[in-house]
Structure 1
Amino acid sequence: MNIDDMLAEIRDANLNYLMLAQQLIRADKPAAIFRLGIDVQIADLLESLSNAQVLKLASNNMMLTRFRFDDSAILGMLTNYTKDRALGHSHAAILMAGQSVEELV
């Protein structure tokens, strides 16, 4: 994969993320804030973006998203398939919910 292909993939990922974020925010803002790991001000800003602004922001050559966790324990809970997978996912969600937005940034 060359650099142009990589940048095109980043733009596609950004566009998909922004469109999904807007849909989530418009459907249920409190749930979207939790699921996206953003604060209210960012949610309001994303919700108000026009289509042209979304396209312009998506065209940035940097990823707009990042992992919400730096803790390998949380990653392990999400990726390891144990007997009770749902319990592992719930535990990871509880741990991530306990993190403030400032810790995520």
Structure 2
Amino acid sequence: METKQLLDEIREINLAYLLLAQQLIREDKVAAMYRLGINQDVAELIEKLTTSQLLKMASSNSLLCRFRFNDALIAELLSGSNRDDNSAVSQSHAAILMAGQPAEAIT
């Protein structure tokens, strides 16, 4: 994949993520903070971004979103790799495990 194409795709993902995050925050800040894995300071910053600021952030050459877990158990629960469990139970278990993790701030 060419560098320009890769950067274009990163920009598209970033923009979609920021637009979704801003919409979720404006609809229900507490639920959005949980779903996005962010703290109140970051949520307020995203909520206040203008369209121009959103586009500027989205143009970063790094992904702004990331996986919320570094735990193989959570990945297995979310992906359904463990065939013995009920899908709804697995997803609920993963949500409980992720809810116990602290929201991380951008530093």
Question: Does residue 1:15 correspond to 2:15, yes or no?
Answer: yes
CA contact (8 A) 2:18 2:58 kept: yes
Q: Which runs of 5+ in 2 are unaligned?
A: none
State the TM-score, normalizing by the size of structure 2.
Answer: 0.92
Runs (4+) off by over 2 Å: none
Structure with more contact order per residue of length (Cα contacts < 8 Å, sep ≥ 6)? 2
Q: Give the drift of 1:77.
A: 0.2
Equivalent pairs counted in the alignment come to 104
Aligned to 1:88: 90
- The AA in structure 2 aligned to 1:95 is L
* C-alpha RMSD over aligned residues: 1.5
Question: Does residue 1:44 correspond to 2:59, yes or no?
Answer: no
Aligned to 2:28: 28
Question: Does residue 1:56 correspond to 2:65, yes or no?
Answer: no
Aligned counterparts of 2:80 and 2:89: Cα–Cα separation in 1: 11
State the TM-score, normalizing by the size of structure 1.
Answer: 0.94
Q: Hey, which of these two has a bigger chunk of helix by percent? A: 1
- The AA in structure 2 aligned to 1:16 is A
- The AA in structure 2 aligned to 1:61 is N
- The AA in structure 1 aligned to 2:19 is M
Q: Which runs of 5+ in 1 are unaligned?
A: none
CA contact (8 A) 2:39 2:104 kept: no
